[in-house]
Amino acid sequence: MAAHLKKRVYEEFSKVVQIPHEEIPAKKLRLSKPSKSAALHIDLCKTTSSTDALQYLLQFARKPVEAESVEGVVRILLEHYYKETDNSVRLKIASLLGLLSKTQGFSPDCIVDDAINALSNEKSHQVLAQLLDTLLIFGTQLPDSPAVRQTLVDVAWKHLSDTYFGVRNKCLQLLGCLGMVDTSLHKDEGDVQSIISDYFADQDPRVRTAAIKAMLQLHERGMKIHQIIYDQACRLLSDDYEQVRSAAVQMVWVLSQLYPESIVPIPSSNEEIRLVDDAFGKISHMVSDGSWMVRVQAAKTLGSMLQVSHHFLEQTLDKKLMSDLRRKRTAHERAKELFASGEFSSGRKWADDTPKEKLDTNTVNLIASGACGAFVHGLEDEMFEVRIAAVEALCQLARSSPSFAEKCLDFLVDMFNDEIEEVRLQSIHVLREISTHITLREDQLDTVLAVLEDSSRDIREALHELLCYTNVSTKECIQLALLELLKNLNKYPTDRISVWKCLKFLGSRHPTLVLPLVPELLSTHPYFDTPEPDMDDPAYIAVLVLVFNAAKSCPTMPALFSDHTFRHYAYLRDSLSHLVPPLRVYGLDSEDSGCGSVSVESSQLFLQQSLNRVSTIQNLEAPEAQDLLDFTIRDLQRLGELQTELAGAADFCATYLRCQLLLMKALQEKLWNMAVPLCLKQNVTATAATQQILEETYKLEFLYSGLESRQVATIHHVRLQAKALQLILTALRTTPFSPYNHGFCSFHVFRLFLRLFLTELPHLQDSFVDKLLELMPRLSSCKPVEMVKILQTTLRQSRLLQLRLPEQIHRATATIIEPTGESDNPLRFTSGLVVALDIDATLENVQDPQNSVKVQVLYPDGQSHVIHPKPGDFRKPGPDRHRLITQVYLSHTAWTEPSQIEVRLLLAYSSSSASFSSTCLATKLGWSDSNDTIPPPETSIEGTIPFSKPVKVYIMPKPARR
């Protein structure tokens, strides 16, 4: 009976609780991150000592906090702050408040009052300074809250009288960063500048430094500093502490730029002087300071004082003082004084005409004694940092004053003999920058050319660059320069290209000086034939480069050439056209021939007309359209060869049209109307074309600089078409009746596709992308076979996008100078060991070469090694130009005979913008089991692009001796 009743109750209960499945309400789950404030409160409550609390706060500072949790965390920290008695814990909490206020998306205005309240009750000076630093962070985070800024300034003013230097420092920082000029802080006080200037005389040097820096901060914020502060800043130049003197130098310089024409009196004299000249003299005096850091700063500052008077500037190069620093009276003034006195010197008494007044030369300071020879002291300083700063300052001043450039030439040339390589290199660069104002004498040139013996390649190449733009005075200078450059070429054969380039500019700048040297240089004789020199001699080529470039501006010089010189000219004109100019010599060459007569404007017009003509191929049949593309590509390639200014744009357009031509050939009618066996054979050609299109699109995107978003969208559109064609070809290679998996129209794939092209859709109107978007509802419900047909039809009916060029497009190029690949002598080394191969290459228009340029070595057995050069191997001789000088280490097993290896440069790229991954789609279709290799998903593609011609080098690994 009990069992029957139990069963009955169970059945009735089951009827009550059974609810249909579709009526079960769905439970909504909301994922939320655990509260940082709650966890912090629990952990702080668990700590039993101040040491444990400090350790926990140190660990907590290393963890990120979300913006929405910052306020709660700050409240917990403030609550613990009031309870804590240990100063170190309160100091860490105050530091954490400032750190948390920097969290992105958090505004600290809600906790400013709490921090000020904590400040008012604090007794520890260190914690007080940290709280002021936190308030400074608050103020910088709230630039649009004048009320908060004024409150913080008031707090700083109240604590300025604190006895601890750190508190005064932070208060001055607050006034400098947040204070408003011409606004009184208190009824009995002046403006912020007067209050800060009062602390220039503080007993602590750290406070004096902070006061000067606070005043400089006001200047950086756009507030004009009062001229009355100038005297105070000048007194601080003689402070006992170098930090104060360093900040005072900056202060004096700022005031000299604000009030350059103001007149200031000279102490102990009736003379007056311009403020900028007075400041120049005082800062020049600091070049002899006891601290080398102050000397460096003073020298750098002098270089930016371009408004100083000329006679003050010249005095910095002369150690002799000017008449005991007194202004000399004119003869008229002296005669007038004698006439007024009524007596002249009789000559009977010794020195009876001396001045009657007693003069202390230490008190007369018309020009500060430090200004006399300031740069001489700087260039002779024991610290190389000071010498470099003095050289740079001379450069800045000499560029604005040609006469000063001539006077400082000897000093700069003397710096070529400095024992520090960095100083020598900097002095060469400086002389190069002011070379337009100077002409070297023979003695100066002799000192300059002595640097060619330097073992540093950077020094030698910098000197070659200097000689390219330097004027010399006599033909003996040209002869001396040529002789030393030939010695350099003999000692360092790898400098060949640099020496030739130097002689090219040297000849073109001095044609009249080269003319009388031609018979001697070419070894010609008016009556006797001389032997023909060897054209393989780099020294003879160097002489010819000098002579031919001088002959361009000297029409009488070719009459001195012998018959073989004309033949050598024709040879060099073809082989080294960038070094040998066109000359009018017996019809061998003409200045008017070549591309010089074609203007850039006409070339740009031709380029635009070519692109407009290609846009009409939609109205042509397939054969005519392909012929038009072929002709246009050929014209653009030729245009790039003729007009170097448009080479990048012409190559870019030609590459883009080549992609369209390959796509058009792959989509021709015959491919899709063939029988399946024939179609599979034709499929191999279309697959290769598709792969080539993909490679070309990566070149278009990463090999050219100056592209705009419109051009990048066009490149991505071409890549999308190639991916779609690759997908169709993959489908044709599979069994027609193989079972498909989930539909091709997976919304995940289309969502990915839309996200990638969302920003580029405005540039892709009436394109393949637009048509796919229109067909999306149909594609989402059709079968995979029909979907492939729709894709095929849409792809064949898509039109060519009009290519619009930006103003400037530059192609990244690389030229390998060394090795040349011309030597037949193999590089021998023991197999299994390594040998170093020197690489010297020039890079043009390469962005971030330290991370993108790599060296590839390809061995005859197919092995390939890619080497990433060190950042120190790259130099930057000019804008958009880089130089790569590195070594590549080769190694291999023993060979029976010498073989060639190929060396070339690669440009690495990383593409994170995927355009319709064919692998993802093929996986959805079930085609991934095909034997053909399919590239990995294009979510992040990394690759390399060859952008230099390969150079072949003979190597011979020899077996090791036993």
User: 266 and 413: one domain?
Assistant: yes
Asked if 287 contacts 273 with a C-beta cutoff of 8 angstroms, the reply is no
Contact present, 125 and 87 (Cβ < 8 Å):
no
Whole-number Å distance between alpha carbons of 539 and 490: 8
Both 212 and 63 in one domain: the answer is yes
Q: What pLDDT score was predicted for residue 776?
A: 63
Res 661: pLDDT: 84
DSSP string, 297-331: HHHHHHTT-TTS-HHHHHHTT--S-SGGG-PPPPH
Of 766, 797, 828, the last residue of a domain is 797
Q: What is the 3-state secondary structure (H, E, C) of 117-157?
A: HHHHCCCCHHHHHHHHHHHHHHHHHCCCCHHHHHHHHHHHH
Block residue for tokens 């190694």: 891
- In Å, what is the CA distance from 962 to each residue of 489, 832, 893? 40, 14, 16
Distance CA 754, CA 761 (A): 9
Q: CA of 615: how far to CAs of 567, 602, 612, 618, 632, in Å?
A: 48, 20, 5, 7, 11
Per run of 10 residues, the mean pLDDT along the chain (length 962 residues) is 48 44 48 52 67 80 77 81 81 84 78 80 83 84 80 84 85 84 48 86 90 90 88 90 92 91 79 88 89 92 88 77 46 58 58 52 48 82 92 90 86 89 90 86 89 88 90 91 93 89 92 91 80 88 93 88 88 87 65 51 80 76 80 83 79 85 75 53 72 84 82 79 75 50 38 52 60 64 67 71 76 86 83 89 88 91 90 82 89 88 89 44 39 42 84 89 72
- Residue 552's contacts (CB-CB under 8 Å, 6 or more residues apart) are 508, 511, 581, 582, 583
* Cα 523-526-528 angle, rounded to 5 deg: 75
Asked if residue 838 belongs to a domain, the reply is yes
Q: Within this chain, do residues 99 and 129 fall inside the same structural domain, yes or no?
A: yes
Q: What is the pLDDT of residue 759?
A: 56
- Residue 885 domain-assigned? yes
User: In which region does residue 332 sit, left (phi positive, over 0), alpha (psi from -120 to 50) or beta (all else)?
Assistant: alpha
User: Domain check: are 49 and 175 in the same one?
Assistant: yes
Residue where one domain finishes, among candidates 223, 245, 261: 261
CB 875 within 8 A of CB 883: yes
Number of Cβ atoms within 10 Å of the Cβ of 848: 9
Q: Are residues 665 and 783 in the same domain?
A: yes
Give how many domains the chain has, as a whole number.
Answer: 5
Question: CA angle, corner 953, sides to 947 and 956, nearest 5?
Answer: 145
* Degrees to nearest 5, angle at CA 960 with 957 and 962: 165
> What pLDDT is attached to residue 754?
46
- Tell whether 848 is covered by a domain: yes
* Domain shared by 252 and 269, yes or no: no
Q: Same domain, yes or no, for 749 and 819?
A: no
Check: CB of residue 841 under 8 Å from CB of residue 946: no
Same domain for 387 and 298: yes
User: Does residue 928 lie in a domain region?
Assistant: no
Query: 625 with 617: CB under 8 angstroms?
Result: yes
Query: What is the rounded CA–CA span in Å between residue 292 and residue 448?
Result: 28
Q: Residue 158's pLDDT is what?
A: 83
Same domain? For 199 and 281 the reply is no
Residue carrying the six token digits 């593409």: 911
Residue 105: the pLDDT is 74
**Phi, psi (deg, nearest 5) at residue 368:** -55, 140
Specify the pLDDT at position 889. Answer: 92
- Of 947, 874, 870, 875, nearest to 904 (Cα)? 947
**Statement to judge: residues 793 and 833 lie in one domain:** no
- CA dist 423 → 412, 451, 905 (Å): 10, 13, 33
Which residues lie closer than 8 Å to 525 by C-beta, 6 or more apart? 519
For 642-669, b where at least 16 C-beta lie within 10 A, e where not — what string?
A: ebeebbbbbbbbbbbbbbbbbbbebbee
User: Which alpha helices (DSSP H) does 585-708 contain, by range?
Assistant: 600-614, 622-642, 647-666, 669-673, 676-702
Q: Count the Cβ atoms, other than its own, within 10 Å of residue 193.
A: 22
Same domain, 434 and 552: no
Residue 598 lies in a domain: no
604 found inside a domain: no
Asked if residue 224 is part of any domain, the answer here is yes
Strand 810-811 vs strand 471-472: parallel, antiparallel, or unpaired?
A: unpaired
Indicate whether 383 belongs to any domain: yes
Here the tokens at position 206 are 């750290």
- CATH number of the domain at 135, please: 1.25.10.10
Quote the tokens at residue 333: 């003034």
- Note whether 396 and 316 are within 8 A (CB): no
- Cα separation of 571 and 545, whole Å? 12
Domain boundary among 392, 415, 438: 438
CB atoms within 10 A of CB 316: 30
Same-domain pairing of 672 and 791: yes
Backbone angles phi, psi at 892, to 5 degrees: -165, 170
- The alpha carbon of 366 is separated from its chain's Cα centroid by a whole number of angstroms, namely 45
DSSP H or E run through 230: helix 229-235
The whole domain housing 393 covers 262-322+329-343+361-438
The residue to which tokens 């006895």 are assigned:
163
Find the CATH number of the domain harbouring 877.
2.60.40.10
